Amino acid sequence: MSTDLASLIRDLYERLNRRDPQVIAALIHEDLLDHTSHGEIQGRAAHEAHVLAGLEAFPDMRFDLAEVFVASDHAVVRGRLSGTHKGSFMGAPPSGKSFSIGWIAVYRFRGEKIAERWLQADDLGMMMQLGFVQMPRPA
């Protein structure tokens, strides 16, 4: 593939961090299939709604990329996600607590747009940092 997929991935996250409203239309295929730990999200519009809901709950949300690997029409990305809970999230009112978690995603491109994503993030770590879940202490 002649397109520099690593640059497209970096551009996606830089633009998300700047809150560029055009980034999803520019880099996400209209038929995106997004596999997340919360289930599958079908289509660019549904993905955009998911992203916007996250930004409402965590308006300072930031994506920091550690590594990007490309093979053929796929890219593998490892990074950190952080933010402060300042809006409603999963029915919970804002707590003001911050989180920082690791994540890994695999992207499949169709041309210069993301057509499919598989995401694994430390959701439990996020829930613990926000105070939604507490781990029992050993006796």
Query: Residue 135 domain-assigned?
Result: no
Tell me the per-residue pLDDT of 64-106, one tens digit each, with 9 for 90 and over: 999 999 999 999 999 999 999 999 998 999 999 999 999 999 9
Query: Residue 117 domain-assigned?
Result: yes
The CATH number that applies at residue 13 is 3.10.450.50
Tell me the per-residue pLDDT of 4-14, one tens digit each, with 9 for 90 and over: 999 999 999 99
pTM, two decimals, is 0.90
Structural domain containing residue 50: 5-129
Query: Residue 138 domain-assigned?
Result: no
Count of domains in the chain? 1
Tell me the per-residue pLDDT of 97-139, one tens digit each, with 9 for 90 and over: 999 999 999 999 999 999 999 999 999 999 999 999 988 888 7
Tell me the CA distances in angstroms from 100 to 86, 115, 119, 122, one per residue in order.
15, 27, 16, 9
Query: Residue 137 domain-assigned?
Result: no
Query: Residue 14 domain-assigned?
Result: yes
Query: Residue 61 domain-assigned?
Result: yes
Query: Residue 136 domain-assigned?
Result: no
